[in-house]
Structure 1
Amino acid sequence: MSGFLPENPGVLQMDVIAEIRRRHLVEKETISSLAIAFKLSRPTIRKHLKTVETPAYQRQHQPHPMLGSFHQQLHAWLEQEADLPRKQRRTAQRLYECLQVEGYQGSYTAVQRYVKGWKKKRSPHPTIKQAFVPLAFPAGETCQFDWSHETVELGGVVQTIAEHHRRFGRDHLICDPWHYLPVLEKKPGALRHGAPFQTWDLPVAIKVVRDRILKQDQGDRAFVDLLLMAKGLGDNGLDALEVACDLTLQTGVISAAIVLNEMRRLTEAAKPKALDDTPASTPALTLEPVADCSRYDSLRSVCHVH
């Protein structure tokens, strides 16, 4: 009997493995008998008697027979563009089209697979999508679990997106909200359930504005922009945000755009002081010009050759 997966002839189907385990553990059938019945070797039978998860075929080495001599050209292009901004780098599709111009007649899949493998080898660090913000969900709500990474790839360059001071002790969850702001820029939805932001003791005016903005369309992103601007202002950023929120509440119209405008007005550089319209500050005219139209008549009497 054959129990191999059609797409992966070297991998057994899970129901066949379950039958092997049942016949051995329940019916006490010997390994030799199972090997004959399933046309498998005894080491294979022993291996699958320990299997508890669905087996998955994983290729250890991916050959690139279709790329042939174009392998070096593709690798050279990838290396040349590795340090360029993301928008200036060619996609796998564009690289495939360029290889076709050079005479490549293979498939796009081979190019795409090679590009994917090259990127994986070059950047072993997690991407920004794998960055982690501690989450806290009320009872009864859907929750999720993430693994923590703080070193990410941004624009092809490996960077540390957040730093925090070392804390000593055990069984303490210490979350600095400012520490996670760079992650919020990519994951604004974490603002609602992120543990650092749920317990953030913000001034009352900011809390009121935050709750109103989060109810609006794209409110998460809008409030994150306010926090990022406040962080960019340095030590006085939170105070400026509080005053801007208070001024916005006085208008009766709550929106992130109004708060941003108020913050810019509060933090913009002072303009030069205007001169007072007084005799002491205004230059005095000492020689008044005289209108003499006869000067133009004298010009008319002279002949000019052009």
Structure 2
Amino acid sequence: MKGVDTVARIRREFFIRKRPIKEIVRELHVSRNTVRKVIRSGATALSYEREVQPLPKLGQWRADLDRLLLINADKPSRERLTLMRIFEALRGLGYEGGYDAVRRYARSWQRERSAVTADAFVPLSFAPGEAYQFDWSHEVVLIGGVTNKIKVAHVRLCHSRMMFVRAYPRESQEMVFDAHDRAFAFFKGSCQRGIYDNMKTAVETIFVGRERAYNRRFLQMCSHHLVDPVACTPASGWEKGQVENQVGLVRERFFTPRLRVKSFEELNAILLDHCIAYAKAHPHPELRDQTVWQVFEAERLSLVPHAGRFDGFHAVPASVSKTCLVRFDNNKYSVAASAIGRPVEVRAYADRIEIRQDGRVVGDHPRAFGREQTVFDPWHYVPVLARKPGALRNGAPFKNWVLPAGIDRVRRKLAGVDDGDRQMVAILTAVLSDGLPAVEAACQEALREGVHSADVVLNILARQREPQTVAVTVITPDALRLCHEPSADCARYDSLRRAG
């Protein structure tokens, strides 16, 4: 192959200096055919590529090499073999040729395969308030000094490219509901359409084409926010390419280097600040004279007004054990003692657990995400203490029980009394009828008087419950007043006695 400088000199010698081909060949040491090819083709550069590459030793091994290349191409990128390893595997089958023939064949095979599998895409455009995209990603952070693999919910407005990111311990349905509520509250509205992949928390069955059988609770959430859900074609991430790109951007800018936080609340506050700072600092990819935040502020006028928080819970039935505990998600939660013997409904929210029975709440706790944890509410066991006061001293629900200051002081003073547990149980039971503020005030009053027995505290509560006597003043109307006050006359009484 001749370089472009040689081709240029041939052209100048022939067309400008009018030198014959014989002299050009003798001076530049090139063949006549090369000079004729440059002059006739008018090309400024010559390249040689053999149209048919003879592979005499590789001929009978092409099928095996095709199989090895195809298997290797279908593997994940981290598990793919190098071409030298494929060559060694082919030599193991009996191939006696060289590596160069395998390399040339593999290069042509890759070009042909790329031409067949290459996809073309159409750029998408969205009107203000038309659609948003939703997706999940998995990230690694340090929470409280412990490495955790967390789930991150991504919401992106398609027109303004405004993003919302929030971290969760799980990828369950109640987390999906909470992410939508918080995103729409941040955007101050929702869009007409929501674009999703076929996640199990939203789609139950995939039919031919665009038809889907959506989860009933997911449809309720979409109906609450007036959103029309649209599911992508399976394995077609480009249909929600904006949020797919957002996942990589957030991982690079927000989670690198690895974040170190104390809690999920701190982490989510950091992520929200990053979203706002990024939107205010970066120009919109289409409207280059405006930032993402400026376009987002304009798009807010076109959003569907925020409908308020959706009651996004995941409900499952459960039974109550004899120890007033309900098991959910590998953890146990206490309920009121009156709930024993009948089934309950556990409503799991993103951050709390609510337990209901016959329409009333019998338990409400912060949600635990570990395993084999037990969450107690000591007040659930106070009615049981009325029958078993001895359990107050060693009962698991009452360990490290934080009581109001007055009640706690009375408890410490009664700890040294013989029947202190019984008296303390009587005071705690009064909370169920009189309320915690009233019992706390009664304990404070008793302590000020220098006493702390249950009888005194209960007596104070009884006096507070008794209605106060109100003095009644009777006013006699003027029409009923006596004008002449009668005088006493005992003579009539004496005459009656004599007649008797």
Q: Report TM bin, short chain.
A: 0.3 to 0.5
Larger Rg: 2
Higher share of residues assigned strand:
2
TM-score of the two chains, using structure 2 as the length reference: 0.28
TM value normalised by structure 1: 0.42
